[in-house]
Chains A and B, each alone.
Chain A
Amino acid sequence: MESEQISGEKESVICISDLYKSFGDLHVLKGVNLDIYKGENLVVLGRSGTGKSVLINILSGLLKPDSGTVMVLGEKVDHLTQKALDALRLHIGFSFQSSALYDSMNVRQNLEFPLTMNVKNLTKMQIKEAVEEALNAVGLIDKMNQMPSDLSGGQRKRIGIARTLILKPQIMLYDEPTSGLDPITCYEINQLIRDVQKKYNTSSIIITHDLTCAKETGDRIAMLFDGMFIKTGTFDEVFADSDERIQSFYNYNFTK
């Protein structure tokens, strides 16, 4: 109901309806429905193993759904040809949980790689400017010539985000952006997610089980439980719900 009201006012960039995904006997997603609107940050919150990462892997075309519809920027992701999917992927930035930086390349090469492989006829100066702009956006311009192995976990996450920003995506997908980081670095990453939203006018899905991250980065929260969304709304709306599953998640996070 609430989703329909908002959709009347805002443009939907991602539309998921009746999505199912199983791995053998394990049913991960069991009828997921969700809309993400232009310019908003949506946090998908839930325990480990509830299918959060599977959801964004389907959105980026890394996994195929068993059934259901996934529309991204008006395209049906699972019905696209490889060429069309690649064209769509240029508008989607994916920040991996492990950062997924290319070990054999330094920071500069990590950022140059997606740019030079996708945009032809760029001059050396244009490439340099794009790399510097992306590194400035994440505040790590001084790390340009370092290898990924020389960076801290937080720095790796930031470089991973910078690598996606270099293609100026319309949609950002963050997979557990604060996992394994100390509270101060978590705060910095949360701020960065907000900065990216403002500066690049992106729509984002942030996958997390960290309530602080959800509160600081999310315009809307979608609570995933056992392969289905059980509640969607602002942070306060979601956690005002008396549903035992939501309350136990909230209490466990904050009492810990």
Chain B
Amino acid sequence: MTPKAKPYIFSKGIDSYFIGIYESYVFVCRFFKQVLQRPFHFGQIIDQCYEVGLKSLPLITLTGFVTGVVFTKQSRTSLEVFGAASWLPALISIALVRALGPLVTALICAGKVGSSIGAELGSMKVSEQIDAMEVSAINPFKYLVVTRVTATTLMVPILSLYCSLVGLLGSYVNVHANENTSFAHFFQNGFATISFLDVFTAVFKSIVFGFTIGIIGCYKGYNASQGTQGVGKAANQAVVLTMFLVFVEELVIVQVSNWIKFF
């Protein structure tokens, strides 16, 4: 006798929404369970670090530099009104290290890395390459997901600090062109205002962003369906959802770090 199919609890749409949340929770738990288990696939992690880190450098360099120049240019006019143009290095340093560096890096990586992971894993899923790994007794989750998420979690903080540094350089170029400030003086002023908590928060924030970029890209790709259309959808959803979550996380972490400072 054919077993009866289970009926929906609410409706197809509502049920699948909650099932989606539960499945993503299971996916994240599966990552934490497997990340510390052997084998570690160090070679694959290094390859992914190269893909995420080194291959993103040109874009991060350009974006960071332009952000530094533009932010300095825009801030100068406002500060000059109050005769506080000399505060520019301090303002730019705080803005770049605390917020802009991690945020710009996360958004760039969400677009570049998140979509690439979503599309790559999605394509592997619909062309049965993930199933092929599984039937060959290879754990595809460990080999594909854990390595990629580890790589993004490690690389985004480094890229974020690099982005802040390049942004400061861009800012210095603009300041030097206008006020003829020396390199040492600019950076001395800039770094004097940055506390350990600022750097710690920025690094912590970037770790969270990096994890989000990796896990969402992998989740969307790993669960892609409906052929080539599904691959495009996975890549697109990976970017949109990651960007949304990055802003939410930014908001929460800023709030928490402000509370810590207050106490």
Q: Which residues of A contact B (CB under 8 A)?
A: 20, 22, 24-25, 27, 30-31, 60-62, 66-67, 86-87, 89-90, 92, 94, 96-98, 100-103, 113-114, 117-118, 163-164, 167
Contact = CB atoms under 8 A, between A and B. Distances in A.
A100 B131 CA distance: 8
Nearest to A175: B128
Contacts of A27: 2, 5
B137 A22 contact: no
B84 interface: no
Nearest to B138: A117
Nearest to A90: B137
Interface of B: 2-3, 5, 123-124, 127-129, 131-132, 134-139, 143
Contact of B137 (A67, A101, A118, A163): A118
Nearest 6 interchain pairs by C-beta: A100-B132, A114-B136, A86-B137, A100-B128, A94-B135, A89-B137
B128 A67 contact: no
Contacts of B134: 61-62, 89
Contacts of A30: 2
B137 to A, nearest CB: 4
A60 B135 contact: yes
Contacts of A98: 127-128
Contacts of B5: 22, 24-25, 27
B138 A92 contact: no
A96 B128 contact: yes
A97 B138 CA distance: 20
Contacts of B137: 86-87, 89-90, 114, 117-118
B3 A103 contact: no
Given A89-B137, A103-B124, 16 more contacts: A22-B5, A62-B134, A62-B135, A89-B136, A96-B128, A96-B131, A96-B132, A100-B127, A100-B131, A102-B124, A102-B132, A103-B127, A103-B129, A117-B138, A118-B136, A163-B132
B145 to A, nearest CB: 15
Contacts of B128: 96-98, 100
A22 B138 contact: no
Nearest to B8: A24
A89 B134 CA distance: 9
Contacts of B129: 100-103
